[in-house]
Chain A
Amino acid sequence: MSARTWATTAVQVLAIAALWLACDAAARHWALPCPAGVLGLGLLLVGLFAGVLPLKAVAAGAGLVLGDMLLFFVPPLLAISKHSELVSVLGLKVALCMAVAALLVMAAVGTVVARLAAWERQRAHPGVSDDGTEPPVELAP
Chain B
Amino acid sequence: MSPELTPTLSPALLTLSGLLSTVGVYALAKAIWRRTGSFWTSPIIVTPTVLLLAQATLGFSFDDYWLGAHWLTWMLGPATIAFAVPVYTQRELIRRHPITIAAGVAVGLVVGLISVTAMAWALHLPEAITRSLMTQFVSSPFALIATRHFGGQPELAVFFVLVTGIFGMLVGRVWLRALGLRDALSLGAALGAGAHGVGTARAYQYATLCGALASLTMIITGVCMVLLSPWLAMGVNGLLQR
Contacts and interface: CB of A to CB of B under 8 A. Distances in A.
A41 B85 CA distance: 9
Interface in A92-122: 93-114, 116-117, 120
A64 B86 CA distance: 12
Contacts, number: 306
A114 B111 contact: no
B55 A71 contact: no
Interface residues of A, number: 76
A113 B103 contact: yes
Interface centre among A71, A83, A108 (most CB of B within 10 A): A71
A58 interface: yes
B104 A62 contact: no
B58 interface: no
Chain A binding surface, main DSSP class = helix
B100 A139 contact: no
Contacts of B142: 37
Contacts of A137: 183-185, 207, 209-210
Contacts of B96: 120, 124, 134
Interface residues of B, number: 104
A73 B51 CA distance: 13
A61 B112 CA distance: 32
A103 B175 contact: yes
A68 to B, nearest CB: 8
Contact of A45 (B44, B84, B189, B190): B84
A81 B112 contact: no
A107 B209 CA distance: 19
Interface stretch (B3-11, B193-201, B234-242): B193-201
Given A38-B227, A101-B119, A112-B107, A107 B175 contact: yes
A127 interface: no
Given A55-B89, A96-B123, A105-B108, A16 B154 contact: no
B79 interface: yes
Given A37-B141, A110-B181, A48 B115 contact: no
Interface of A: 13, 16-17, 19-20, 23-24, 33-38, 40-42, 44-45, 48-49, 55, 58-59, 61-63, 65-66, 68-83, 90, 93-114, 116-117, 120, 124, 134, 136-139
10 tightest A-B CB contacts, nearest first: A37-B80, A79-B155, A75-B69, A62-B82, A40-B81, A44-B84, A137-B184, A62-B85, A110-B190, A106-B194
11 contacts: A20-B80, A41-B223, A45-B87, A58-B85, A71-B22, A73-B162, A94-B160, A97-B125, A105-B108, A106-B175, A107-B190
